[in-house]
Amino acid sequence: MPAAFVTHADCLKHEMGAHHPERPARLTAIEDQLIASGIGQYLARHDAPLATDEQLARVHPIEYLRAIRDAAPEAGTVHLDPDTAMNPFTLQAALRAAGAAVFATDLVLSGQAETAFCSVRPPGHHACRARPMGFCIFNNVAVAARHAVEAHGIERVAIVDFDVHHGNGTEDIFENDAHVLMASTFQHPFYPYSGTEDPAPNMVNIPLAAGAGSKQFRDAVRGKWMPALEGFKPELILFSAGFDAHMEDEMAMLRFTDADYAWVTGQVKHIAGRYAGGRMVSLLEGGYALSALGRSAVQHIRVLAGLNG
Express each pLDDT in 163-200 by its tens digit.
999 999 999 999 999 999 999 999 999 999 999 999 99
Number of CB atoms found within 10 A of residue 249's CB = 24
| Packing angle, helices 290-304 and 25-37, rounded to 10 | 50
What is the percentage of the chain residues whose pLDDT exceeds 70? 100
Average pLDDT value over all residues in the chain: 98
pLDDT at residue 4 greater than cutoff 80: yes
Given 60, 126, 166, 188, the catalytic residue:
126
Residue type, 270: H
Q: What is the pLDDT of residue 105?
A: 99
Asked whether 10 and 100 are in contact (CB, 8 A), the reply is no
Which of the four pLDDT bands, split at 50, 70 and 90, describes residue 90?
very high
- For residue 1, how many other CB atoms are within 10 A of its CB? 12
Confidence (pLDDT) at 72: 98
pLDDT digits (tens, 9 = 90+) for 253-271: 999 999 999 999 999 999 9
Please state the pTM of the whole predicted model: 0.98
Catalytic (active site) residue 126: yes
Is the pLDDT at 56 greater than 90, yes or no?
Answer: yes
Count of CB atoms situated within 10 Å of the CB of 155: 12
Q: Residue 69's Cα: distance from chain center in Å?
A: 23
Question: What is the average pLDDT across 62-79?
Answer: 98
pLDDT in tens, 269-282: 999 999 999 999 99
Residue type, 248: E
Statement: residue 309 has pLDDT above 80: no
C-alpha closest to that of 175 among 150, 149, 217, 204: 204
Other Cβ atoms less than 10 A from the Cβ of 193: the count is 12
pLDDT of residue 197: 94
Q: Which residues of 89-116 are buried (b: 16+ CB within 10 A; e: fewer)?
A: bbbbbbbbbbbbbbbbbbbbbeeebbbb
What is the sign, positive or negative, of the torsion defined by CA atoms of 128, 133, 134, 135? positive
State the pLDDT at residue 308. Answer: 85
Supply the pLDDT for residue 205: 98
> How far apart, in whole angstroms, are the C-alpha atoms of residue 253 and residue 105?
33
